[in-house]
Structure 1
Amino acid sequence: MDQKLNEKIKKRYNRVSKIYDSMDKMIREDWRRDLLNEATGKVLEAGVGTGANLASYPDSIQSLTGVDFSSEMLKYAKQKAPSLTVPYPIELIEADIQELPFPDHTFDTIVSVCVFCSVPDPVQGLKELRRVCKPDGQILMLEHMRSENQVAGLAMDLLNPVTVRMWGANINRETMENIKAAGLSVIGEKRLMGSIMRRLELSPAK
């Protein structure tokens, strides 16, 4: 793991944490709600950020654990959690997706919402999600990625250095290839905005 890069990305997210809720409004509420409604059992949200998803989980889940490697982003999530009236426990932990502090096969559902654009080593992060997901569990993702359109993809490549410097997010990640490299299987896919924004359901089984 590139610790120097890790620290650089953390600092960028710490810096934008105060305005991140405004930035996060690019995620439509119906996209968020439809994804989270599929969560069951013991849930891990990988990259919980400022806690934008916390109020949208179904009451039927067993527990919710959220992790983020940005202490400042997590601070805002911890401020939101006590105001929620939910029947399940919530635990928020500062931790790195690339090195999760949980035993193998811990969670029934793992959720990520626009997270793998910023994980320094996305394949390693996806491998960790696979490791801590139960063999019969599910990984639910709402992710943006490089466009399959040649012109749009090239434009994203050109703009990517700017977005990375501003807040640490890559807009040209080849996320579908990264998922395959991590040994995960795509069992459901819905394209929400061309080939750029997708809702994915993954299985840890090959």
Structure 2
Amino acid sequence: MRKSVNEIIKNRYNRVSRIYDMMDRMIKEQWRQDLLSAVSGDVIEVGVGTGGNLVYYPNSINSLTGIDFSQGMLKFAKEKSLKMKFHFPVELVEGDIQDLPFPDNTFDAIVATCVFCSVPDPVKGLQELKRVCKPDGRIYMIEHMKSDNKWAGLVMDLLNPLTVRLWGANINRETIKNIKLASLNIETNESLMGSIVRKLVLTAK
């Protein structure tokens, strides 16, 4: 039986989990700090990965749940969390962004950093974030996506099959379009690296 797309991507992230922290350096420390300084209440980080954001969460939040579908990535996140002193409860669990194991309207804030490049069905994943976000909550994202530049976008299209095979990440996702298809509203759209890397704040209303 052929493996599902989910299983293929899980296996790729399990494989690269040992070196993922080096790959993740494209997200600058200041970007993480700026994004996470705004979160409050009960927070979920989807695609928590190896836990690169953990150290930047403000002590004022009520709770933090981290979820990832790669056991290999979670292993490193859990190792990091054990070395930290949190002022709030932290739970790191295995799960799928496309089918989150939480009731509707659970979280005040949702965080995702460079996640929707690898979600097999990004619109479904975004719809799940909308479902578990409280009506007055916010979704905080740093995402890389296809360039607005015609020629750069063409190169990204050509290279995408290679990057997907290597580690499961699509470099040509049209994330702004997917956000709109998921019926989420863009409150903030800030360019961090041209049109390729953006800081986004979304609302579910």
TM-score by length of 2: 0.98
Matches within 5 A, 1:1-12: 4-12=4-12
Q: Secondary structure at the match of 1:38?
A: coil
Deviation of 1:169 after TM superposition, in Å, equals 0.1
Matches within 5 A, 1:125-140: 125-140=125-140
Measure, in 2, the Cα distance between the counterparts of 1:89 and 1:22. Answer: 28
1:155 aligns with 2:144: no
> How large is the Cα RMSD of the aligned pairs?
1.0
1:88 aligns with 2:49: no
The share of aligned pairs that are identical, in percent, is: 63
Deviation of 1:3 after TM superposition, in Å, equals 6.9
> Aligned pairs, how many?
204
Q: Which amino acid aligns with 2:10?
A: K
The residue number in structure 2 matching 1:58 is 58
Deviation of 1:136 after TM superposition, in Å, equals 0.3
Deviation of 1:83 after TM superposition, in Å, equals 1.3
Measure, in 2, the Cα distance between the counterparts of 1:86 and 1:11. Answer: 30
- 1:105-155 Cα offsets, whole Å, 9 max, x none, are 000000000000000000000000000000000000000000000000000
The residue number in structure 1 matching 2:171 is 171
- 1:59-86 Cα offsets, whole Å, 9 max, x none, are 1100000000000100100111111112
Q: Secondary structure at the match of 2:111?
A: strand
Matches within 5 A, 1:193-204: 193-204=193-204
| 5+ long unaligned stretches in structure 1 | none
Measure, in 2, the Cα distance between the counterparts of 1:26 and 1:186. Answer: 23
From the superposition, tell whether residues 68 and 85 of structure 1 become closer, same or farther in structure 2 (CA, over 3 Å). same
Q: Which amino acid aligns with 2:151?
A: V
| 5+ long unaligned stretches in structure 2 | none
Q: Secondary structure at the match of 2:102?
A: coil
Q: Which amino acid aligns with 1:174?
A: E
* Greater shift in the superposed pair: 47-56 or 78-87: 78-87
TM-score by length of 1: 0.98
The residue number in structure 2 matching 1:141 is 141
Measure, in 1, the Cα distance between the counterparts of 2:148 and 2:25. Answer: 24
After superposing on structure 2, the runs of 4+ consecutive aligned residues of structure 1 that deviate more than 2 Å are: none
Q: Secondary structure at the match of 1:9?
A: helix
The residue number in structure 1 matching 2:31 is 31
The residue number in structure 2 matching 1:192 is 192
Measure, in 2, the Cα distance between the counterparts of 1:37 and 1:189. Answer: 17
Q: Secondary structure at the match of 2:88?
A: coil
Measure, in 1, the Cα distance between the counterparts of 2:50 and 2:163. Answer: 19
Measure, in 2, the Cα distance between the counterparts of 1:3 and 1:112. Answer: 26
Q: Secondary structure at the match of 1:98?
A: coil
From the superposition, tell whether residues 3 and 38 of structure 1 become closer, same or farther in structure 2 (CA, over 3 Å). farther
Measure, in 1, the Cα distance between the counterparts of 2:195 and 2:137. Answer: 26
